Every structure is written in C-alpha cells, then in structure tokens.
C-alpha cells in the first residue's frame, strides 16, 4: 500500500509570481489558439453550407427546366 505524507498548510510553500504569470500566459495562448480554431472552423462550415446550398439550387433549377420541357411538348 502506498501512503502519501500529508502536507500541513503551514509548510512555507508560496506560489511564485513568475510561475503564476507563466501559467496565465500559457492559458491565454491556449484560449487564443482555441478561439482562432473556432473562427477558422466556422468560416469553413459556412463555405461548405454555401456550396451545398448552391448545389441544391442548381439541382432544383435543372429539375424545373426538365418539367418545363415536358409540359411544352
């Protein structure tokens, strides 16, 4: 069995300002990359949706043109 020693709160350990700042900067970099990734993904989704909608409209126009040809005969 592995036992961990308990650290009492008065052990004298203090967070270093430099370490705290580095942690905050790393967190901000990750948040920034995530935001940029979301922005890129959103624009790709929108482009994909526009392309899908354009293809759907083109197919609808072709079907409509075929129906008009049938009725004009």
Q: How far, rounded to the nearest angstrom, does the alpha carbon of residue 69 sit from its chain's CA centroid?
A: 46
pLDDT at residue 64, rounded to an integer: 95
What pTM value is reported for the model?
0.58
Q: Which of 52, 34, 53 is nearest to 42 (CA)?
A: 34
Q: 34-52, pLDDT tens digit by residue? A: 999 999 999 999 999 999 9
């Amino acid at each position: 069995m592995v036992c961990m020693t308990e650290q009492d709160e008065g052990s004298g350990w203090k967070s270093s300002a430099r370490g705290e700042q580095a942690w905050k900067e790393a967190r901000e970099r990750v948040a920034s990359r995530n935001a940029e990734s979301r922005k890129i993904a959103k624009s790709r989704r929108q482009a994909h949706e526009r392309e899908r909608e354009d293809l759907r409209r083109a197919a609808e126009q072709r079907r409509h043109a075929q129906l008009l040809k049938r009725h004009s005969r």
